[in-house]
Amino acid sequence: MLTLEDFNALSECAQAEAIQNGTFLADREENGLIVRLFSLGIFYGEVFHDAHTNKILGLKAFDTTSRLVPYLAHIKFNLHQ
């Protein structure tokens, strides 16, 4: 299983491939970019995507749940039974 340390040692291209092979969880908007969140088993990865140019501008990986807070506002709960 890929660890966060292993991920950080990869080239940017290999990091992007590893994130895309993860499980998509959510997306959000930040400063005009679309940020997509993926689960990679024991850590999370984010892809910062510019929809206007259709380019990936950055990647981040983390293993702390506090970094998930920006995504919580986008979760919709069905409270009707």
pLDDT tens, residue by residue, 38-76: 999 999 999 999 999 999 999 999 999 899 999 887 766
pLDDT tens, residue by residue, 4-46: 999 999 999 999 999 999 999 999 999 999 999 999 999 999 9
Q: Please state, in angstroms and rounded to a whole number, the distance separating the CA atoms of residues 11 and 14.
A: 5
Rounded to the nearest 5 percent, the helix, strand and coil shares of the chain are 30, 35, 35
Greatest pairwise CA separation for the chain in angstroms: 48
